[in-house]
């Protein structure tokens, strides 16, 4: 198998969600170039429309021009906000609504309805937020916007979604908030807030954002998504020949833990930094076929690569020796139970993998993997195993191939474009 070319991954999912939210609560117009056009961000745009924000349809090659309604301008929708498969849309919207003057029911597809929401509602409740639980810890959930008080929230889980929900709640309510996280997580909200002139201080894992009267509309070109790029980079590492460059992705240090791990695995990966955009560093990443070795990933590193564990685990199944991903408990609460799903699917195709407590252990092999991969409708499981399936010695069948549309609709097309089976 050979790889070649230069390819730009889709717009970053986390940045697109946040840019849509900042734009919605800003006063005036916001222009977003190259946002992620996928099911998850369309779910966010659809929810914002129901809250009275003018957001045009997210269409290819069209910048999104969004008319913000201001901090106090969101209106109560008559129907529930369906966030479909998107945990980020649901949790960030819960934060925004908590500090608003609107009341809304937040819901989602079957996977999202069963994901934990108290991790968000509990810290928000300490600020005075009001909720009506309609399904225990899951969704649907009614958020009753109210005035919030300035608080310090010590978070129990290392989650950028939870941190950002609290920061957005404070921003919409116009109060100061401090969040202390147990481990550093992605900091897009903080970087964008700072670039938009919102006073914000960070000190290690402690962030304080100050209430402001208004934020102004802005322009942003959304950088490429390292979590989507990881699949393309993984493909290049597993190839026999060639070289692939992924262009214009964010190289925010809180997102590229997987590149640091790949380096330890012996991967030939080179990053070339480009100019930053609205607080986000950008780079081009070139990857070449590599002989990989097993790796130990520490629990502290996990938040910086949480969405890349599926690809890293698949690469570990092709490395020499054992790999151990420590403290990956949070993988149980993603779009599927990724911890069990990864181990089960690697075994289903003839690999060796196990869950030991909160660790994922994968034994490398060059066996001719064969079998059926049950994706559980999870985009990142589907994409990681599709990459493995490109190796000539591997024969894998996925139970579905629609799920990549939630974060990377052109995934299969892009794979075909950069990869030559011969």
Buried b (16+ CB within 10 A) or exposed e, 25-55: bbeeebebebbbbbbbbbbbbbbbbbbebeb
Provide the token pair at 161.
């979604």
Report the interface residues with ligand S3P, using CB under 6 A. Answer: 14, 17, 88, 159-161, 164, 185-186, 306-307, 330
Q: How far is the CB of 372 from ligand S3P (least distance, A)?
A: 26
How buried is 322 (Cβ within 10 angstroms: 0-12 exposed, 13-18 middle, 19+ buried)? Answer: middle
Q: Which residue has its beta carbon closest to ligand S3P? A: 14
Q: Return d(Cα 306, Cα 21) in angstroms, integer.
A: 23
Provide the token pair at 389.
């399936």
- The active-site residue out of 39, 307, 376, 378 is 307
Provide the token pair at 189.
């909200």
Alpha carbon separation from 140 to 208, 213, 381, 406 (Å, rounded): 30, 31, 26, 20
Give the chain's end-to-end CA distance (angstroms, integer): 6
Closer Cβ to ligand S3P, 14 or 82, answer by number: 14
Q: Phi and psi for 63 in degrees, rounded to 5?
A: -65, 155
Closer Cβ to ligand S3P, 208 or 407, answer by number: 407
Helices and strands in the chain, H and E counts: 13, 24
Give yes or no for a cis peptide into 140 (omega within 30° of 0): yes
Q: Any residues with CB less than 8 A from the CB of 402 and at least 6 apart, and which?
A: none
CA 241 to chain centre: 30
DSSP at 8: P
Give yes or no for a cis peptide into 419 (omega within 30° of 0): no
Judge whether 307 counts as a catalytic residue.
yes
Closer Cβ to ligand S3P, 156 or 270, answer by number: 156
| Residues composing the chain | 422
Instruction: List active site positions.
Output: 307
């Amino acid at each position: 198998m050979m790889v070649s070319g230069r390819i730009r991954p889709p717009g970053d999912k986390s940045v697109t969600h946040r840019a849509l939210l900042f734009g919605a609560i800003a006063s005036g117009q916001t222009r977003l170039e190259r946002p992620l056009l996928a099911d998850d961000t369309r779910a966010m745009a659809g929810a914002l429309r129901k809250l009275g924000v003018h957001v045009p349809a997210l269409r290819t090659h069209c910048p999104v021009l969004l008319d913000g309604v201001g901090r106090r301008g969101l209106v109560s929708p008559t129907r529930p906000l369906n966030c479909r498969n998107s945990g980020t849309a649901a949790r960030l919207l819960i934060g925004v609504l908590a500090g608003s003057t609107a009341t809304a029911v937040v819901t989602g597809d079957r996977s999202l309805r069963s994901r934990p929401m108290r991790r968000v509602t509990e810290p928000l409740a300490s600020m005075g937020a009001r909720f009506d639980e309609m399904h225990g810890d899951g969704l649907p959930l009614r958020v009753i916007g109210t005035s919030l008080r300035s608080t310090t929230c010590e978070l129990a889980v290392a989650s950028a979604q939870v941190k950002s929900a609290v920061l957005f709640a404070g921003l919409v309510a116009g109060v100061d908030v401090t969040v202390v996280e147990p481990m550093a997580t992605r900091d897009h909200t903080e970087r964008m807030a700072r670039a938009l002139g919102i006073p914000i201080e960070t000190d290690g894992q402690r962030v304080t954002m100050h209430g402001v009267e208004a934020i102004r509309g802005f322009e942003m070109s959304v950088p490429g998504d390292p979590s989507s790029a990881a699949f393309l980079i993984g493909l290049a590492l597993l190839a026999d020949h060639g070289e692939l460059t992924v262009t214009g992705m964010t190289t925010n240090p809180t997102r590229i833990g997987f590149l640091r791990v790949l380096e330890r695995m012996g991967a030939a990966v080179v990053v070339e930094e480009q100019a930053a955009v609205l607080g986000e560093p950008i780079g081009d990443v070139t990857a070449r076929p590599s002989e990989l070795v097993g790796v130990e990933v520490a629990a502290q590193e996990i938040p910086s690569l949480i969405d890349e564990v599926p690809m890293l685990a698949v690469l570990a199944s092709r490395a020499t020796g054992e790999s151990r991903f420590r403290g990956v408990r949070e993988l149980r609460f993603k779009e599927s139970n990724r911890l069990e799903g990864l181990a089960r699917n690697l075994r289903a195709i003839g690999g060796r993998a196990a869950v030991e407590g909160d660790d994922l252990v994968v034994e490398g092999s060059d066996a001719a993997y064969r079998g059926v991969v049950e994706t559980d409708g999870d985009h990142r499981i589907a994409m990681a195993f599709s990459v493995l399936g490109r190796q000539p010695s591997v024969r894998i069948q996925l139970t579905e191939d629609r799920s990549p549309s939630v974060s990377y609709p052109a995934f299969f097309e892009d794979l075909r474009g950069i990869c030559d089976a011969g």
